[in-house]
A and B are shown apart, each in its own frame.
Chain A
């Protein structure tokens, strides 16, 4: 049975609150003043529902971002399976740009989620580039 097409995007988005605990200190050096966020305020269900119902991001942009997330996940899959269409450095740049797009949509409109994304920026990257952790994330 094939997993639903939206699964990678959901997994990436759901990993936001977990990733901050997985690889602390992995954030880009620039992101040293992320807002403090309480880990207790968001669990998987709450975050999932929050994203689904968030008014910070319009429907069209949600679809664009979902497509971009799916594409990036596919490229990481290919990379971890030996594909060399992009180097890891190039994938990091693509990841950063995607996170910038999401952050720009959330800033000023959904501060808790924006703060969570800021804090998890580096640790999500750490999980994506690690073959074993990536496989766990998408399995």
Chain B
């Protein structure tokens, strides 16, 4: 009887064990990594050969120069009517 009570107590104690803390969330990517990823996605449909974005320069709020890992360069900007325009540049 005592053994059963002890076992029951152990089981109940196990039920009350707090869950382990959640694993630490991965660190946020840098701003440059975030921007590169967005620009790569923007270019992906129009210029599949661009690949990864090697570097970029923000020329205005909605205007970027993007250099692709393929060696190509593009200007990515938003026109006054909200359309996104991608034009090739001299590398």
A107 B82 Cβ-Cβ under 8 A: yes
Inter-subunit contact A100/B42 (CB<8 Å): yes
Judging by beta carbons under 8 Å apart, are B61 and A107 in contact? Answer: no
CB of A118 closer than 8 Å to a CB of B: yes
CB pair A30 B80 closer than 8 Å: yes
Pair A107/B80 contact, Cβ less than 8 Å: no
Contact residues in B for A32 (Cβ distance below 8 Å): 80
Cβ A31 vs Cβ B82 within 8 A: yes
Would you give the shortest CB distance from B48 to chain A, in whole angstroms?
14
Q: Are the C-beta atoms of B82 and A34 separated by less than 8 Å?
A: yes
A135 to chain B, nearest CB (A): 21
Q: How many residues of A contact B (CB 8 A)?
A: 29
CB–CB B41/A101 < 8 A: yes
Which chain B residues numbered 66 to 91 have a C-beta less than 8 Å away from chain A? 76, 78-84
Chain B: which residue is nearest A35 at the CB level?
B81
Within 8 Å of chain A (Cβ to Cβ): is B34? yes
Q: Is A7 at the interface (CB under 8 A from chain B)?
A: no
Closest to A30 in B: B62
Which candidate, A16-24, A42-50, A85-93, is the interface stretch facing chain B? A85-93
Residues of the B chain whose Cβ atoms lie less than 8 Å from the Cβ of A85 = 28
Contact of A100 among B31, B38, B58 (CB under 8 A): B38
CB-CB under 8 A for A107 and B60, given A94-B34, A100-B42: no
Q: What is the CA–CA distance of A34 and B79 in the complex, to the nearest angstrom? A: 9
- A25 to chain B minimum Cβ distance, whole angstroms, is 15
The CA-CA distance from A29 to B60 in the complex, in Å, is 11
Is B47 engaged at the interface, CB distance under 8 Å to the other chain? no
List the interface of chain A (C-beta within 8 A of B). Answer: 28-35, 64, 68, 75, 85-86, 90, 93-94, 96-98, 100-101, 103-104, 107, 114-115, 117-118, 121
Other 12 A-B pairs with CB < 8 A, given A30-B62, A30-B63, A31-B82: A30-B60, A32-B80, A33-B79, A34-B81, A35-B81, A35-B82, A93-B35, A97-B39, A98-B38, A100-B78, A103-B84, A107-B83
- 23 A-B pairs whose Cβ atoms sit less than 8 Å apart in the complex: A29-B61, A30-B78, A30-B80, A31-B82, A33-B80, A35-B81, A35-B82, A64-B41, A86-B28, A90-B31, A93-B31, A93-B58, A94-B38, A97-B39, A100-B62, A100-B78, A103-B78, A104-B45, A107-B84, A114-B82, A115-B82, A117-B82, A118-B82
